[in-house]
Structure 1
């Protein structure tokens, strides 16, 4: 019985790592669609989000079933509960990638980003990939020592987020209101993607140590209070 339970816990861990991989792939493809105006690629990211949702549902179902059947205590209980919270973060990262793809689809065949913002968003995408890839490794290896380094990387994402606003508020900005709104939303999507990766990493710290750090509480409050939803206007009109 214990062997079967241990195998189930390992499978759940593997699913979390897979969710991190899927979210990374979704954002990478959404960014490519954004940069190139590739409508087909944007549509594929939007459609593929259902698979991410399905993996999250399966993980949560397995965790609830294990809670009911095994009545775990101590570390095992913490692992199952924490896994469900991490799955929510990772699934939300997939949603944010979908939002990026929807912006690309909405503006097709036009390019969303002008020359002044393209380098900043290209770097934001690279940083986001680093964050989610490292978060997946932290899950797989329970590497709590790497969390502080992850936060340093997230600091760069925050700096880039501020750089977008500096560009939008500068006297040189001449691309209009619609482009400014798109850039504001996109910047928030990438920045929140990074915040969720950091949240996942902090949950691993809790899983291993049983303690929450002040940094985790701060990031959780930010996500709870300022999480961005897909605006109703960012959908492709029927017909």
Structure 2
């Protein structure tokens, strides 16, 4: 029975990695669709979100079955419960990608934001893709250096997010009301994507080391 239990725990980890890989593909396509006004890519992201949702539900059902049948304790229990929370964050990351893609589709054939902000959003998208790829590696290997890198990259996105608000609220902003709404929404989606990644990184770090750092807490439930 113990061997079966360990196999089930490995399957939980494998499924988390699979979902994370799909999320990385999703944010990559979403940011390219957003920056290039590529409606075909946007449609792919929107359509593929159901795959992420479906895999998340399947993983949650497996985790609940493990809790019911195996009644894990100590670290094994933390692994299963953390998997449920991590899968929820991954699902939300997929949603953020979808929201970014929906903005691109809605504004097609125009670009979502004015020229003055395109460089900022290109950098936010690059950082989100980088974070997503590092998160997948973290879930595979539990490399704590990756967890710290994700946090550092999130700080950069937070700074860019604030710069967008400074721009649209500044006296020199010439955008229409729709431009202001789109820019603030898009910035928020990019920022929340990274926040969920930080939340996952913290959970992985806690499982690996037993240490919880409240100074780097992230309210990813928003």
TM-score class normalised by the smaller sequence: over 0.9
Which segment is superposed worse, 58-67 or 202-211?
Answer: 202-211
- Does 1:136 pair with 2:133? no
Distance in 1 (alpha carbons) for counterparts of 2:160 and 2:17:
27
Aligned length: 222
Distance in 1 (alpha carbons) for counterparts of 2:76 and 2:55:
21
1:153 alignment counterpart: 153
2:30 alignment counterpart: 30
2:9 alignment counterpart: 9
2:46 alignment counterpart: 46
2:182 alignment counterpart: 182
- Does 1:64 pair with 2:56? no
2:171 alignment counterpart: 171
How has the CA–CA distance of structure 1 residues 28 and 146 changed in structure 2, closer, same or farther, with 3 Å as cutoff? Answer: closer
1:223 alignment counterpart: 220
1:25-77 Cα offsets, whole Å, 9 max, x none, are 11111111112222222111111000000110111111111111111111111
| Matched position secondary structure for 2:156 | helix
**5+ residue gaps in structure 1?**
228-239
2:122 alignment counterpart: 122
1:223 offset after TM fit, Å?
2.6
Distance in 2 (alpha carbons) for counterparts of 1:116 and 1:145:
35
| Matched position secondary structure for 1:121 | helix
| Matched position secondary structure for 1:172 | coil
Distance in 2 (alpha carbons) for counterparts of 1:139 and 1:35:
28
1:168 offset after TM fit, Å?
1.2
1:206 offset after TM fit, Å?
1.9
1:231 alignment counterpart: none
Distance in 2 (alpha carbons) for counterparts of 1:84 and 1:201:
14
1:130-178 Cα offsets, whole Å, 9 max, x none, are 2121122122112234322321111101111111112212333212111
Distance in 1 (alpha carbons) for counterparts of 2:16 and 2:126:
21
1:208 alignment counterpart: 208
Which segment is superposed worse, 170-179 or 78-87?
Answer: 170-179
Distance in 2 (alpha carbons) for counterparts of 1:55 and 1:160:
32
The alignment yields a C-alpha RMSD, in angstroms, of 1.4
